[in-house]
Amino acid sequence: MNPNAAFASAAPAAAPAILPEAASSEPARPLPLQGLRVVEFTHMVMGPTCGMVLADLGAEVIKVEPLEGDRTRHLLGAGAGFFPMFNRNKKSIAIDLRHPEGLEVARQLAATADVVAQNFKPGVMAKYGLDYAPLSALNPRLIYVNHTGFLPGPYEHRTALDEVVQMMGGLAYMTGRSGDPLRAGSSVNDIMGGMFGAMGAMAALMQRGITGRGQEVDSALFENNVFLVGQHMLQYAVTGQPAAPMPERISSWALYDVFSVKEGEQIFLAAVSDAQWLTFCDALGFADLRADPRLATNNDRVRARATLLPDLRQRLAGYRAAELAAIFEAHGLPFAPILRPEQLFDDPHLNATGGLAEITLPDGERAGQTARTTLLPLALDGQRLGVRLNPPTLGQHTRDLLAELGYSPEAAQALMQAGAVG
């Protein structure tokens, strides 16, 4: 990997990423959620993901932080990328909700919102009068999105984490080997839970356009995880056989695996239809396999997988991974190099299609330096949804937002001196 691929010297925020074929087209249209205001009382990953999705789609998203800031600003290790990843295109206001004047600012700000999002434990927002009931009394058009560990029920009092629900919801069992449950390699429930929160918010906004009224939306980690493993639950319902963990599963296709090849390289290769199997045999010169009646159909090959796979591993062991990739690509067969996340900074497809955009890091040892971040995996009219605002520094927009709420510069300064805002 190019050591300069991830970080660069400080520079202005990148313009929204545009696909090459759209670069010379008409000016970009307004984003779908432009003109909507979202106020988020969120931290960690789930709630901020919801806000990021809405922000990328054009909403003005205001992140309410405690005076010491969202804790993810200063996490180490696996959490170091949380804040810059999930808080772009947002404004930051720092408020002490325990201070009466700070709480009043928060209430005034929430009253201006189309959407309020939160992901605190049940009861926290109600303690401050920032839950749905009092805010919707002020603004019946309000959409209020709760991000929780569990939807209302016997578990709702529990403290949930992504790893907690992966363990209790079958995903860790399916990811690891028997007797060795393993969490998935990303914050899948947090991220998807935030995405479902954003989806619910957009659905409620559409319904508000018809009825004129807002509503409360709930998205939960556990239920998200159960949705992810639903295919395995239905496999059991259909076959009567429990799903085996993914490393030990009975594959639906014979050629569908990672192969170790020349000089210890690895590559994933697949053929998921009879036509692809024939193409594979022709491309590699395996005429004997092509003609073998015991391998004529996909199900025949799956039944023969115990002997077929060792044979294929031996046949392919003399190839370089790049040679196999070239053969598979030339013949339209599925394949994949085995890459690490940091290698994606140099991925030619991501770089050619605007899949990465520059942000300026707001915190930590590299504060002020730029890094490239991944964008939402979609395009509208050929345009990627890019970075309009860098991840904010703590309280970066406090004074501007107070002015919008009618506070004079002197009143804003007084609030800061009193420790109500920062």
Strand-pair category, 37-41 with 115-118: parallel
> Does residue 70 have an active-site annotation?
no
| Structure token digits, residue 314 | 């031996």
Q: Pick the catalytic residue: 70, 131, 162, 190?
A: 190
Cα–Cα distance measured from residue 302 to residue 316, given in angstroms and rounded to the nearest whole number = 19
**Active site residues per annotation:** 190
